[in-house]
Structure 1
């Protein structure tokens, strides 16, 4: 693909648009005057680079790049590589203020659910920006906000990527029986090392964290969805009601059935 400058294109100022490219090492986009909008891109495989006055950064598989408007730059495929990536141009959103004030930000996502979620956001954005049905612009902005806030959330509280990977598994599998050995294997650690690192990063043991998630979800189901105490305990993965009731009373100061009665009143 030949180099070009968007400054010569007749594109409405507030337009959101994007694409999916898979480019060899000849791909390069120089913009010595910068852009009037922002650029976000996500590498699916290979490696790209972005050069700004502050230096060069590279964006590999599973990494997101974000370039501010008005910054002189050049970006393209790293020599000897292919760069398979999705991208979008957009006007500044207020959510970008949560991110570090850098000319170009590169952020790595852990494997698993987080990468799948970001890729799905890009797919939705590309679809809505091309389809342009009712509310397309707002839908595109919402996809961008989701990506930007996920980055901001991860920067706010950085934790070991292996533990983050395990937390994603816990969240998705909360209702199922979960063994420490399985979680440790999922994170690529021994059971003892995983348990120690989990408590160091999260501040509580795996069992404590899992129970807290389950109890919180059970309380929400009873309060807002009309589930009985027994139904809620089963919904979140407690097979022993007495154990659930003991933990619930310890956490909320009420029995589960007392909590339901209080919520109704």
Structure 2
């Protein structure tokens, strides 16, 4: 079974190009050749070999291999115990990043997942979406299933070298920055942030100060003012609209914080910087 899919126009970050399953005959092979997209094979049974960049891997049930776009690869089923596998072809601006989160790169193209049948079940669910009569709905559902598949691989995949190099302090600080950037418009407090990150408030503030050379409160204020400056490009928004949109229900407090950061009032800033 194999299905080829058209290029997605609504899911440019990640989308399927094909998927399928095959029970190979003994010594069945493909390549050496290149592919134009990412292609992830997952072995359902049997064994075989995969060759890329001068390396040979012998693989079996519960393992898989990633083919990078425009990279020459070769793979062959075993002559005695040929493998069967399912595969997923995909592209998108987030594809490589999501694969890296799962520990899959050109240098580390082998995956191991032998916990359950989730990967194969995702393929079956993709196939079952056919025939619902709504192409856009099917495309979105299949993209969602692809995200779920990659999330499983990320959850149980190896720790990447990048993650190993990061100190725990850097990880916590990054969580604070991500939370602030996502929730700057809400009435968030340092206690809220500490609870989400999972650290004592005083300890988290100390870590953040050491890493960023500024306090969490000051980082939040500057993030809000930065976003406010971006919003000022939209002339349909009043200063009050912008104030509320960045977490300040009191326009006077907003003006005070804005002037402290930018050295001028919001109104004067807009006059000088927005055409």
TM-score, normalised to structure 2's length?
0.47
TM-score after normalising by structure 1: 0.48
